[in-house]
Homo-oligomer: A and B are copies of this chain.
Amino acid sequence: MKNEDVFFAVDLGGTGTSVALVSRAGKVLERARFATRDFVVEARPELFAEEVARQIQSLLAHFDGAAPTHLGLGAPNGNYFTGEVLYASNLAWRGVVPLAALVAKATGKEVVLENDANSAALGEARFGAGRGVDNFVAVTLGTGVGSGIVAGGQVVRGVNGFGGELGHLTVAPGGRVCGCGGLGCLETYASVTALIRTVVSGVQNGSSGCGDFDAQALERDAESAGPIIASSARAGNPLALGAFQLAAESLGTAFAQVTTLLAPDRFILSGGMVAAEDLLMAPLKKRFAQSGARFHKPLPQIVLSKLGSGDAALLGAASLCFS
């Protein structure tokens, strides 16, 4: 394979970072993963860049083609225009990190950086449920709510690269306090963190039917909390069911606002929380149909991503380098 047909892709996540060799056809040829916290260390962003350089050398050892010249990088709070990661609250870095420049220096590659949610949307656009669809919104339901908007065939970056932030739409004026400083943001109701918040608050308030939850354990291990709450909901636990219902209805309210503004063809859902689609989809679609967007018949579809977990962001990061 020629080196202009293969690209390095990096998906920097809150827990793990994936590094991959990706073909222009959207195939992940090689991949590796490392724990983000080992190399994302306050005040030392070059550690991460150096680890990426090591990882791509390892990938090349198993690869039988010419080394790619370009690297696409998706990162939380990444800014396409500046190549920086800005005030990423889920990472140990503080302030502004010129990540594209650091990775370019460490690897010798041409680096294009984008935020993780837009990368995922680009991956869906090229290789997933957004292929051939000019207007869609890709929503990742995990620790937070990530989203990337494609309108008229283009990813919406806005004037400063921060367009597309569905997670901070207000769905409940005066509601829950959000990390962004706002009240009632979607992310505080419709993420795994939000599920935990609903359940822990119910336990602390002595809601009925919450006897089988260990609030401290849920907060300690967010990774397993989602599946635990989902299992309880499926077993009929009213507190867990209520947490999913609140999440689903908040998404429906937000999707109606987005539809009013952007009239997308579809919403594409991904992320750990969609494993509970059986709990989410019915109340989400019901609220969506009830909440505004009445001009839009048929309403936009709500579909699940069919790309492998985490692949959308990697494929999208690689596609940033496609000429």
Q: A91 near B: Cβ within 8 Å?
A: no
Give Cα A278 to B154, complex, Å: 38
Chain A residues touching B, majority SS:
loop
Sample of 5 A–B contacts (CB below 8 Å): A164-B261, A169-B257, A182-B292, A185-B292, A261-B261
A93 at the interface (CB under 8 A from B): no
A36 within 8 A of B: no
Copy tally for this chain in the complex stands at 2
Which residue in chain B gives the minimum CB-CB distance to A171? Answer: B173
> Distance in Å from the Cβ of A113 to the closest Cβ of chain B?
17
User: Shortest Cβ distance from A90 into chain B, in angstroms?
Assistant: 14
A149 within 8 A of partner (CB): yes
> Inside 8 A of A154's CB, which chain B residues have their CB?
151-152, 154
Residue of B nearest to A166 (CB): B261
Within 8 A of B (CB), among A150-171: 151-152, 154-166, 168-170
- Cβ contact within 8 Å between B168 and A295: yes
Interface core residue of A135, A185, A258 (most chain B CB under 10 Å): A135
A291 within 8 A of B: yes
A133 to chain B, nearest CB (A): 8
A256 CB contacts on chain B under 8 angstroms: 170
CA distance A153 to B26 in the complex (A): 28
- Residues from chain B with a CB closer than 8 A to the CB of A134 are 159
Instruction: Provide the residues of chain B in CB contact with A162, threshold 8 Å.
Output: 263, 295-296
Task: Let me know if A271 is at the binding interface, CB within 8 A.
Answer: no
> Which A residues, 263 to 313, have Cβ-Cβ distances below 8 Å to chain B?
263-265, 291-296, 300
The residues of B that contact A1 with a CB separation of less than 8 Å are none
A206 on the interface (CB 8 Å rule)? no
Q: Tell me the smallest distance from the CB of A249 to a CB of chain B, in Å.
A: 11
In the assembled complex, the CB of A166 is this many whole angstroms from the nearest CB of chain B, namely 7
